[in-house]
Amino acid sequence: MCPKSHNSLTWTSQPVLPNGVMVGNFKIYAAIVMSGNNYSKVALMAKFMRLGFPSASMFDRIQGQYIIPEVDRYWLTIKQSTQEELRATSIVVAGDGRMDSPGHSAKYCTYTVMNQTDKKIVSMEVIDKREVQLKSGQLEVRGFRKTMDDIKDAGIEVKEIVTDAHPQISSIMRRDFPDIRHSWDMWHGAKNLGKKLHAVALEKGNSQLKPWVQDITNHFFYSAETCNGDRDVLQMKFVSVMNHSLNVHRWALGGCDHEEIDQTVEREKEWLDPDGSSIIALEKIIMDHRFQSNLGHYVTCQTTSEIESFNNHLLMYVSKRHAFTYASYKCRCQLAAIDYMHHLNRPLRKNKKGEFYYCRTFSKAANHWGFKYVKVPKDYSYIPEMMIAVLSVYCKSFKERPLSKKRLRARMIPV
């Protein structure tokens, strides 16, 4: 200030955007959303540090007016580019829904459809409970319909779709999409079969069946992989496991695919008793009419494992322990999809010798240790671009006002 109270220089620790918003504060708002964090938790951390922090009301306003629309535009660009690549082609896709809560009172559902060849997300829809008359059970069905309509409008031909064994989706496929093959997730099918076998093996008199549960489940996978899309071949191969468990490997209509078994070698698993209750229980499960009628859904041995992985990735951006508005929830799901698509083809990490890094993993289901290769860390190189885009939209929304005489005098520097 000069002696006559004229302001000759204004200094701030960071640039000031139109309407007096500091760039740092604006970037904090954008970073909270784009990193999948929660405003209240970050604000609480700042409070413990006695650090000045921008207000929640300003966060809600900037998130709703500038961040969410820009994320939506960015995701639509990526989705349309992916759909353009697949236009006029025939593809196999997998679809699955993910609810926003762990219970039965879901408010939102994220339904994702992914290409089985390159694992790219072809379509993703976020469904609000109010769209289905507040019936949570209809969320996944509504999401399935919207994604199928989106793919159809994009000019993409679907020859096969893989979902879980949802009865309503199966009914829609039979009625509205008879020309598309509907397959069920092989992993879920084998898991349900294993549960039934394990429950029967725990019954009195069926303990002999318990060591065979995992082998029968594995044989179900093998039969689906080697049936070449033929339901009758799948049925014949899988039913043959009953003969194999009785130590019968050749019969009138065929035989087992494995090599000759040396009967002199001591076995860890005993063969089932032909007159025992274990083989009767096994036959009841395998020859169940409902199970046999659904075998046609497993002839291509498809899984939705990559979508399950993406649904787990969604937890980074939309935790099931926090509540969000519909716009915020949809924005965070789109950010998760952008993150997934950007880092989809990351190479494996190597050391100085050119050897691949790997880490140990433990499987609770199988109760054994394994390993997996480690990919290079994520770079999030798209975040600066999105930050600049959001800041540009904010700055362009304010038209420069002409200076009043009072403001003009304040800017004049006396000689």
Query: How does 262-292 read in b/e, with b if 16+ C-beta sit within 10 Å?
Result: eeeeeeeeeebeeeebbbebbeeebeeeeee
d(CA 89, CA 389): 33
pLDDT at 400: 54
Give the pTM. Answer: 0.87
**Residue 3 located in a structural domain:** no
Judgement on whether residues 287 and 360 belong to the same structural domain of the protein? no
**Residue 128 located in a structural domain:** no
- 3-state SS assignment for residue 404: coil
Distances (CA, A) of 47 to 27, 40, 60, 155: 18, 10, 19, 52
Judgement on whether residues 191 and 247 belong to the same structural domain of the protein? yes
pLDDT at 251: 84
- Beta partners for 347? none
Judgement on whether residues 224 and 289 belong to the same structural domain of the protein? yes
d(CA 323, CA 305): 27
d(CA 322, CA 332): 12
**Residue 296 located in a structural domain:** yes
Judgement on whether residues 223 and 290 belong to the same structural domain of the protein? yes
- 3-state SS assignment for residue 32: helix
Q: Which of 300, 324, 355 is the last residue of a domain?
A: 300
**Residue 237 located in a structural domain:** yes
**Residue 213 located in a structural domain:** yes
Judgement on whether residues 286 and 362 belong to the same structural domain of the protein? no
Judgement on whether residues 277 and 359 belong to the same structural domain of the protein? no
**Residue 191 located in a structural domain:** yes
Domain count, the chain: 2
CA angle 206/211/215 to nearest 5° reads 120
Averaged pLDDT in 10-residue chunks for the chain of 415 residues: 71 80 90 94 95 91 94 96 91 94 88 95 95 91 95 93 94 93 94 93 90 92 92 92 89 83 81 89 93 94 93 94 93 96 92 87 81 90 94 81 49 44
Judgement on whether residues 255 and 352 belong to the same structural domain of the protein? no
**Residue 339 located in a structural domain:** no
pLDDT at 153: 93
Contacts of 274 (CB under 8 A, 6+ apart): 246
- Beta partners for 98? 110
Q: Which two tokens stand for residue 28?
A: 């904090």
Judgement on whether residues 215 and 279 belong to the same structural domain of the protein? yes
Judgement on whether residues 296 and 348 belong to the same structural domain of the protein? no
Domain coverage including residue 280: 187-259+268-300
Judgement on whether residues 365 and 280 belong to the same structural domain of the protein? no
Judgement on whether residues 358 and 286 belong to the same structural domain of the protein? no
**Residue 79 located in a structural domain:** no
